[in-house]
Structure 1
């Protein structure tokens, strides 16, 4: 299937989902046998796509959503950058230091096993309800993803490459710059999609648990008012926002890792 036909099928499938959703939740359109005696409750529990898109249109046309999206974007970007830098630094350090790795391994394993969401209330006590607590939660989610990828990347460096570089007189700093760091960076970029997604999750979850701005805050307020259409509107906006971030990461990955062969490429004979 060509790319154009694939996009058409995907769009038709998406439209079909919303059409069926509308048919099953609109009290005037829903068949009586689908929700016997509860047809009027379907819209309350599952929302109506027409009203959901109306809420989204009002958000964007009136400009209400832009300050909240901007806050969520800032929290996501800061959590992603800080978590990635810390994960890269600690992963390189422990990957190149077997003694430090042996000492800190049980502690890192224990911290990684801890559900980070439970740290959100603690961060709110420490940093307040502003952006700092959301960034801190996002950093804890991003850090371990980047750390383990970098750590594994350092361990996977080819011994042949190390031996050849050492025989050519490479110093420890040159090995770090020209061998270990490129290998670790490649592993970091391979986890970019997961990392930026976790940063986004940390920001939204933090906003949902306690904040005064952000899309997560809008969803939380709508949930408190039992406004299911606004809740779904916030979820759809977050989904579209996450897809845009993933698209940006894909473009950056292709540009920065242009040297890496793609699937199906072979070396010339």
Structure 2
């Protein structure tokens, strides 16, 4: 049995699709224009190729790395470090965020300590983690954890605090226990905040891994960029950043699709012009 959609619904969906296509075309056009200006500026001497390289040379370097296959070993190390930092940081941020949002006294006690820890410059912590955990992956995971944890924690904490108290009271009147409230009320209500933090956390997890590798490692994209910088190979430095950018965009697409699937119960919002 097929579900009939109203003309207004079909119009709204068509408008949304057209707007999405227009936005994608505008994004591609903007990127092409910026790259063309960069290429022309480097070719015409406006930009010094020694410092800025050229997009054509950067693309050629990325292709060489892919054909050679060596970049995949470094990329795998960086992704493993970033994934561990993301998973551990997200799990800890969710757990602590839910706990402090539900236990107000504990949140008040720990509030100054959380603010102090969050205010610490992360770059200062990286050498300490290298001393504690060595040059292996765990020093990079620890550094990435410090970046991911607070993003997820603050979003989760705020998301749970923003839950409508009337909804919570009604669930309690129906006999819902704390675990049921967590599963059926707080978690669904806070999912938007949580996924908002995950979009940012993915990039920060990779940043943490790369910065840790840059400061001390024997493999990884950060190590690759550090080696290129040591011999003033600007093209390879930009190529490493391009590889990381592509990976972050692909992961963000996956996170976005998971978010759409888990939040499919939300009513669609038409952001197009009438």
Structure 2: stretches of 5+ with no match in the other structure: 1-17
1:196 counterpart (202, 213, 216)? 202
**Residue in 2 aligned with 1:39?**
none
Change in Cα spacing, 1:174 to 1:10, as seen in structure 2 (3 Å) is closer
More moved, 13-22 vs 74-83: 13-22
| Residue of structure 1 in register with 2:122 after alignment | 116
Q: Distance in 2 between matches of 1:194 and 1:248?
A: 13
How far the C-alpha of 1:131 sits from its partner, in A, is: 1.0
Counterpart position of 1:242: 248
Q: Deviations over 1:142-193 (max 9, x none)?
A: 1111111111122112111121112112223322332223333342122220
CA distance in 2 between counterparts of 1:174 and 1:15 reads: 51
Residue equivalent to 2:31: 14
Counterpart check, 1:70 vs 2:76? yes
Taking structure 2 as the reference length, what is the TM-score of the superposition?
0.86
Q: Please state how far the C-alpha of 1:210 moved relative to its aligned partner.
A: 1.1
> Which of the numbers 251, 256, 263 marks the counterpart of 1:257?
263
2:57 matched to 1:51? yes
> d(CA) in 2 for partners of 1:84 and 1:43?
41
Moved more, 74-83 or 172-181: 172-181
Residue ranges of structure 1 left out of the alignment (5+ in a row):
36-41
The aligned runs of 1:1-269 (5 Å cut-off) are: 2-26=19-43, 30=44, 34=46, 42-264=48-270
* Cα 1:15/1:182, change in 2 over 3 Å: closer
Change (3 A) 1:165 1:6: closer
181-190 vs 141-150, greater mean Cα deviation: 181-190
C-alpha separation in 1, matches of 2:79 and 2:178:
39
Report the CA distance shift for 1:2/1:190 in structure 2 as closer, same or farther (over 3 A). closer
Query: Displacement of 1:4 after TM fit?
Result: 4.1
Q: CA deviation at 1:16?
A: 2.8
DSSP-derived class of the 1:75 partner: helix
Q: Deviations over 1:115-145 (max 9, x none)?
A: 1121111111111111111111111111111
The alpha-carbon distance between structure 1 residues 174 and 22, as it changes in their structure 2 partners (threshold 3 A), is closer
Moved more, 2-11 or 73-82: 2-11
